[in-house]
Amino acid sequence: MKRHFPPAAALSLALSLALAPPVSLRAHLEAVPGEEGMVVSVHALASEAGVEILKKGGNAVDAAVATGLALAAVFPSAGNLAGGGFMVVHLAEENRQTVIDYREEAPSAATRDMYLDEDGEVLTDLGSARIGWRASGVPGTVAGFALAFERYGSGRVTWAELVEPARRLAEGHVLTPGAVSSLRRAAPRLERFEESKRIYLNGGAGWKAGGTWRQPELAATLARLAEEGPREFYEGRTAELIAAAMEENGGTIGREDLRAYRAIEREPLRQTYRGHLLVCPPPPCSGGATLFQMLGMLEPHDVGGLGHNSAAKYHLFHEVMRRAFCDRIEYLGDPAFVENPLGRMLDRDYLARRMADYDPARATPSESVEPGLGPRESLETTHYSIVDAEGSAVANTYTIRNSYGSAVTIPGAGLLMNNVMDDLAAKVGVPNQSGLMQGPANEIAPGKRPLSSMTPTIVLKDDALFLVTGSPGGPTIINTVLQVVTNVVDFGMSAMDAVRAPRVTHHWLPDTLVYERHGLSSDTVALLEAMGHSPKESGSLQGEAETILVDPTSGVRWGAADPRLPDTRAVGY
């Protein structure tokens, strides 16, 4: 039926339509509702892969495996088979949580000084922990996904069904402008290795948006995983290809390293914040402990009353961040190698003492902030969040560390290898490529899992699932999650408002308050400078917090895909 509007209304409607963003852009900038299930990831095709599994009867864990495998095909800068990470699982029926630790491990050939030159200085090019064949840890992704599936999958879908969407995408999918732009930015690193240049740069000719990208070697690897099971990666033809390429090129990962790798199920860390229960991974993931320290230091303050973008709020947040990161660097590491004093670090009296010298009007110089218990991470990761029809959830963050990892690809397997060894301390007291200081608890040793900033987080309210979030970004991850959580809890923001709000970060040393491009007003910057801070505008945006908020009243899952990257999508049903 034809609709008629009075002249004023017609003019108003025309103006609103003219000023509104295009439909596709609006969908990207608004939260997406889902009554049954929701998958939010960095790429629409990966989110759709997860929803495909949910619709087949799979649960959140099943969908998480399918989504993670699909990202290896469509988002190679961080999606992976040859990396590692952490998965937080919320089991609605049992009302309990668990963590799957599938962080990479240092190979058996690793030594403490393996990345130092003859003068004791840290190597930064080929042969370093940053690029090339010696930069990789033993991959954990496939083992981690397998452990999660075996213990907590629904039993209604098979392993092969979870692999199939990724195999199909590796056979061919249409490249987006965002994917092509990412490949172009990585070209200076990727073109140094012939197999990477051939696959990711089209032999140097480059790929075009709208074209079909085919990765037959990766598709064959995924087909083997589907047919022979996940241990094929560690003991079958894929393991042979990895070990042979490593040996031929002076790498450090051998057949026995692959055969010996196992993912680990761990008890999560839990802490309350203003009546909400937060669940995060324990070490070697540092994100949970550091996030909980910061929230514990914030809780005595009226954060909401400070105003969301006020200088007073950012001053408080940076004082909290610098103290927590100081402790992180000094005390946390792989629990198989060092003792993590979590009880003392998270004790409320200790956190109150940490803030005893906090001055609401003046910045505390980082040089005067020392570890409180006494002496003794380009940032390419990706996160996705999933909620199923039963209310179970997965927060999964995984990585190959830098964008496109070590930049080397295993011939015949199509596997882009990680450069996670840079997350161990090449030299104590020297920042890694992320600019993050490294302490003795994180020194290189065979079999050691590097300390990680990943912070996949599940939040419960009144024993019901409330928020699922996380982010990439190296050491900025923890502070991104902190701000998403406080945006929701302290400022009552919606999922999308909480995700797209401007972000800031501070890591103790260097003593710099970094804010997102256009994130702070000039007035706020001036006020912070007057307090003694050193604000610095970042040349890029911070993080990519794929988030789901469950409405406590209706149960609707609101998926917020972070608009900081062009291809992120929330897909619900």
Active site residues: 381
Report in angstroms the alpha-carbon separations of 185 from 135, 167, 203, 212. Answer: 20, 26, 15, 19
Give the span between the Cα atoms of 260 and 265, in whole angstroms: 16
C-beta separation of 479 from 540 below 8 A:
no
Beta bridge partners of 85: 398
Question: Residue for token digits 């882009």?
Answer: 416
Tell me the C-alpha distance between 572 and 553, whole Å.
18
* CB-side neighbour CA atoms (13 Å) of 449: 27
CA gap 158, 66 in Å, rounded: 11
Cβ-based neighbours of 389, under 8 Å, separated by 6 or more? 36, 37, 54
Return the sign of the alpha-carbon dihedral for residues 266, 271, 276, 280.
negative
Cα–Cα nearest to 547, from 430, 456, 423, 413: 456
Write out the two tokens for 312: 């007073």
DSSP characters for 483-550? HHHHHHHTT---HHHHHHS--EE--SSS--EEE-TT-S-HHHHHHHHHHT--EEE-SS------EEEE
